[in-house]
Amino acid sequence: MFYNFKEIEEKWQKAWDSGNAFGARHDAARKKYYLLEMFPYPSGKIHMGHVRNYTIGDVAARFKTLQGYNVLHPMGFDAFGQPAENAAIKNKTKPDAWTHKCIKEMEAELKKMGFSYDWKREVATCDSSYYKWNQWIFLKMYERGLAYKKASSVNWCPSCETTLANEEVIDGGCWRCHTKVKLKDLEQWYLKITDYKERLLEDLKQLDNWPEKVLSMQSNWIGRSQGVEIYFRLKETNEAIPVFTTRADTIFGATYIVLAPEHPLVAKIIKGKPQEKEVLEFVERVSKESKVVRTSSDVKKEGRFSGSYAINPVNNEAVPIWIADYVLMEYGTGAIMAVPTHDQRDFLFAREHNLPMRIVIQPNDQRLTTNDQLSEAYDGDGVQVNSAQFEGMPNQEAKIKIAEWMQETGIGKIQTHWRLRDWLISRQRYWGTPIPIIYCKKCGVVPVPYEDLPVRLPVDAPFTGEGGSPLGKVKEFVEAECPKCKSHARRETDTMATFFDSSWYFLRFCSPDFENGPFDKAEAEYWMRVDQYIGGVEHAILHLLYSRFFTKFFKDLGLISFDEPFIRLLTQGMVLKDGEVMSKSKGNIVDPDSMIKKYGADTLRLFMLFAAPPETELEWDDRGLEGAFKFLNRVWRIHESLKEEADSQMLKILHKSIKKVTDDIQDFKFNTAIASLMELTNAIYQFGADKGVFSKLVLLLSPIVPHFSEELWQILGNKESILKARWPEHDPALLVEQTVTIVLQVNGKVRSKIDVPADISEDKLKELILQDDKLKTWIQDKPIKKFIAIPKKLVNLVV
């Protein structure tokens, strides 16, 4: 009754596997296509998100193969990370054994979906043959001053007992376990990604085929802001206090300045002042508050007067210096000029503390003369007032002119500030790449020599779950010989953040077994860049930014010739159930494996592609899955009743479908591609198909439902696999219509339709139309003012 998906899928998976059907070989004569999906963490089980991501990629890979491209479609595992350590603590296994077991299970699940991976290129980042090159890259960065150690206050997750990168703190909590992040003073390794900030921002312009959303997220994250650093002077000592502003046009309205509580000048300026004790208490209290509390916008801004004054360099006015929690030491200079009339935060603060205000921008559409006319700051554009030589100038123009004037007179300096910070990569964990550094009492920080790589993780480490990294407790690991002076030394016990591993794996896939470097230059030049990258939008900032950074670094090393790793990017939408993300805690998970057992992998693939366009969220629907299964059975039955010859009507529909499906798959519009395959199937039910027509349908379906199509292809008498076939092309001659249906409108409303020869002249058409009965009742005897004809489509009469 139903086609035997179980037998068919097992049969073809075996055949593809034993025939190494998807092995990719460097062939300079052929045009390459590198298709990559973000590799998974090997949890052991795939979820619907994986199924969706990898199905989208698989269709594209198979489609490109049929079109004759030399396709590289690899898969591997992002295998370092915390769950392996947790499992080790819980189950008394070793992270290495646990991870490799999970990889095996996951491979099996991926194979059950029929994905066309070149398994010979598989990499796992936890293998020393891979992480050796992490260490190599780290040392290259160290040599160039791009990897450095710094003591600072860092984000610390008390639950994971490790540091976190800025990028890993989400809403003040740990990205993994959501525990509230604390600040801790530690010596940590950083990568100087900020050296690449200009290129990382500028090169976003090259990425025409990335989603707008991702580009804007990256650009926000890098956070370039152009302005002026203005030097106010301390009234008493004439010492400079730099402040940063993007609104130089408002400088004449700066009526006080504010320092961050952590500002180094604070202690100096309050010394001996009556306010000293009060300010010190305030600073102490604020510094204890976590950043989360301080930066939540609903908290009222607090501040204290320092007792000192500063000189505004543009008018030599003495303005009070305040200390307030709404100014952050990390951004700009840690000090601001406050313009209460034209900045809302300053406005609220000034009202609260009775500070002076001065209007310096006059709105174009209203008269603003007295401060009490303001109920909030005016931050729009206008004309300069109370602004000395800039009086009357439009503020946008003044912004530039004032900045230039300041630059010339030395009052200030045109500057650019960035939000992007260096990347903290030290993690106090065991299951990661050891940082290849040795600390010697005599020689200091000594990099491990290249010939000593890899620094291997010790197999035996105590996993107690208590305090600190297990690596620090392995004596044989910690104790090392200094590479320089050979004296007794100590090895770095921190490991690298796992985002390091995934920042270059796409290059490793080009030559996964290469032993003389992270990748073979010639192979990378052939296969890279990745033509199409596919993954979740949750990696829009972290992973993609780091990968771009590494690629630029490799270019600077002379290892590759390109700046950007990924030509096209597709971020697939999430899979929802009942409007919510599938998750264990919500208990709404649908297990792919059980769906494969019930309907087969082909049905699951078909449903995933049909239910929504790839970029949007997909609502899981059991009945939709059944519908997909019904469709496949409907197609299956066609082969039992093929005609000798297909009629011309059928051929026309077929070639229309070929065009539509080809165009849609090209554009990743799989849902509409499938819709037209359904229409084609419906047409076959109406008109009947011969072997030729049906073969084309099977071929068009094959990237989507590969096992199903292989089997029918064989049933149709083909000796070779459908993978060796070529994608069909439509015959343009068959798409030319002899007659066309013209829609007839009167005053823009559809009133009638008429069938006419496709090559009819406009005059002849007009003549025919005016004889149309339905139209006559609408026109009656009103004069026709206008006659608009869109060839082969529509005519609109205006009466």
Partner RNA sequence: GCCGAAGUGGUGGAAUGGCAUACACGUCGGUCUCAAAAACCGAUGAGUUCACGCUCGUAAGGGUUCGACUCCCUUCUUCGGCACCA
Site for RNA in 512-551 (CB under 7 A): 537, 541
Is 588 a binding residue for RNA by CB under 7 A? The answer is no
What are the start-end ranges of the E strands in 235-316? 240-245, 256-259, 303-312
Residue numbers 80-109 binding RNA by CB under 7 A: none
Is 783 a binding residue for RNA by CB under 7 A? The answer is no
Among 2, 39, 30, 75, CA closest to 501: 39
- In angstroms, what is the C-alpha Rg of the chain? 34
Residue numbers 311-330 binding RNA by CB under 7 A: 325-328, 330
Is 759 a binding residue for RNA by CB under 7 A? The answer is no
Q: Which stretch binds RNA (CB under 7 A): 176-184, 267-275, 501-509, 606-614?
A: 606-614
**Residue 172 to residue 184: CA distance in whole angstroms:** 14
Contacts of residue 212, Cβ cutoff 8 Å, sequence gap at least 6: none
Report, in Å, the least distance between residue 786 CB and RNA: 5
Is 170 a binding residue for RNA by CB under 7 A? The answer is yes
Report, in Å, the least distance between residue 260 CB and RNA: 6
Is 168 a binding residue for RNA by CB under 7 A? The answer is no
315: its two tokens: 């008018």
Q: What share of the chain is helix, strand, coil (3-state, %, to 5)?
A: 40, 20, 35
Question: Is 799:783 a contact under the CB 8 Å cutoff?
Answer: yes
Provide the 3-class DSSP secondary structure of residue 595: helix
The angle subtended at Cα 168 by Cα 167 and Cα 170, nearest 5°, is 95
Is 631 a binding residue for RNA by CB under 7 A? The answer is yes
**Residue 96 to residue 84: CA distance in whole angstroms:** 8
725 sits in the region (left: phi over 0; alpha: psi -120 to 50; else beta) called beta
**Residue 709 to residue 409: CA distance in whole angstroms:** 76
DSSP state of 363: E
Is 276 a binding residue for RNA by CB under 7 A? The answer is no
Report, in Å, the least distance between residue 422 CB and RNA: 15
Of the candidate residues 177, 267, 299, 735, the single one contacting RNA (CB under 7 A) = 299
Helix and strand numbers, DSSP H then E, in the chain: 27, 32
Of the candidate residues 43, 275, 371, 672, the single one contacting RNA (CB under 7 A) = 672
Is 396 a binding residue for RNA by CB under 7 A? The answer is no
Is 336 a binding residue for RNA by CB under 7 A? The answer is yes
Residue 175 exposed, middle or buried by CB count within 10 Å (0-12, 13-18, 19+)? middle
Q: Which stretch binds RNA (CB under 7 A): 5-13, 233-241, 294-302, 473-481?
A: 294-302
25: its two tokens: 């070989």
Of the candidate residues 4, 20, 179, 225, the single one contacting RNA (CB under 7 A) = 225
**The one-letter amino acid at 24:** A
Q: CB nearer to RNA: give 527 or 668.
A: 668
Question: Is 313:335 a contact under the CB 8 Å cutoff?
Answer: no
Question: Is 301:197 a contact under the CB 8 Å cutoff?
Answer: no
**Peptide linkage before 419 cis (omega within 30 of 0):** no
Residue numbers 256-275 binding RNA by CB under 7 A: 260
Of the candidate residues 7, 352, 621, 759, the single one contacting RNA (CB under 7 A) = 621
**With contacts defined by CB under 7 A, how many residues of the chain interact with RNA?**
81
Q: Which stretch binds RNA (CB under 7 A): 83-91, 152-160, 491-499, 676-684?
A: 676-684
Report, in Å, the least distance between residue 773 CB and RNA: 10
Report, in Å, the least distance between residue 412 CB and RNA: 12
Q: CB nearer to RNA: give 721 or 747.
A: 747
Q: Which stretch binds RNA (CB under 7 A): 314-322, 548-556, 586-594, 629-637?
A: 629-637
Is 679 a binding residue for RNA by CB under 7 A? The answer is yes
Q: Which stretch binds RNA (CB under 7 A): 148-156, 176-184, 687-695, 789-797?
A: 789-797
**Residue 113 to residue 589: CA distance in whole angstroms:** 18
DSSP state of 579: T
How many CB atoms are located within 10 Å of the residue 249 CB?
A: 28
Is 612 a binding residue for RNA by CB under 7 A? The answer is yes
Is 247 a binding residue for RNA by CB under 7 A? The answer is yes
Q: CB nearer to RNA: give 220 or 561.
A: 220
Q: CB nearer to RNA: give 14 or 753.
A: 753
Site string for RNA, 342-371 (x = CB under 7 A): -x-x--------------------------
**Residue 667 to residue 209: CA distance in whole angstroms:** 11
Is 626 a binding residue for RNA by CB under 7 A? The answer is yes
Report, in Å, the least distance between residue 290 CB and RNA: 12
Is 212 a binding residue for RNA by CB under 7 A? The answer is yes
Q: CB nearer to RNA: give 678 or 756.
A: 678
The angle subtended at Cα 103 by Cα 101 and Cα 105, nearest 5°, is 70
Is 790 a binding residue for RNA by CB under 7 A? The answer is yes
Residue 613 φ then ψ, to 5°: -65, 150
Among 476, 461, 432, 455, CA closest to 93: 461
Residue numbers 632-671 binding RNA by CB under 7 A: 633-634, 637, 669, 671
Site string for RNA, 104-133 (x = CB under 7 A): ------------------------------
Q: CB nearer to RNA: give 280 or 348.
A: 348
Q: Which stretch binds RNA (CB under 7 A): 243-251, 350-358, 526-534, 645-653?
A: 243-251
Is 685 a binding residue for RNA by CB under 7 A? The answer is yes
**Residue 71 to residue 88: CA distance in whole angstroms:** 39
Is 21 a binding residue for RNA by CB under 7 A? The answer is no
18 membership: H or E segment, kind and range: helix 5-18
Is 391 a binding residue for RNA by CB under 7 A? The answer is no
Q: CB nearer to RNA: give 20 or 287.
A: 287
Provide the 3-class DSSP secondary structure of residue 788: strand
Is 747 a binding residue for RNA by CB under 7 A? The answer is yes
Of the candidate residues 44, 173, 223, 517, the single one contacting RNA (CB under 7 A) = 223
Place of tokens 């819709």: 675
Report, in Å, the least distance between residue 561 CB and RNA: 31
Q: Which stretch binds RNA (CB under 7 A): 181-189, 337-345, 650-658, 697-705?
A: 337-345
Report, in Å, the least distance between residue 555 CB and RNA: 27
**Residue 348 to residue 560: CA distance in whole angstroms:** 53
DSSP annotation string for 50-111? HHHHHHHHHHHHHHHHHTT-EEE----B---SHHHHHHHHHHS--HHHHHHHHHHHHHHHHH
Q: CB nearer to RNA: give 552 or 660.
A: 660
**Residue 518 to residue 63: CA distance in whole angstroms:** 30
Q: CB nearer to RNA: give 726 or 793.
A: 793
Is 750 a binding residue for RNA by CB under 7 A? The answer is yes
**The one-letter amino acid at 541:** I
Q: CB nearer to RNA: give 75 or 214.
A: 214
Q: Which stretch binds RNA (CB under 7 A): 113-121, 461-469, 587-595, 740-748?
A: 740-748
Is 753 a binding residue for RNA by CB under 7 A? The answer is yes
| H runs (alpha helix) in 113-225 | 128-143, 197-202, 212-222
Q: Which stretch binds RNA (CB under 7 A): 148-156, 404-412, 754-762, 784-792?
A: 784-792
744 membership: H or E segment, kind and range: strand 739-746
**Peptide linkage before 40 cis (omega within 30 of 0):** no
Is 623 a binding residue for RNA by CB under 7 A? The answer is yes
Q: Which residues share a beta bridge with 416?
A: 226
Is 749 a binding residue for RNA by CB under 7 A? The answer is yes
Is 419 a binding residue for RNA by CB under 7 A? The answer is yes
**Residue 171 to residue 173: CA distance in whole angstroms:** 5
- How many Å separate Cα 65 from the centre of its chain? 27
Of the candidate residues 49, 81, 95, 227, the single one contacting RNA (CB under 7 A) = 227
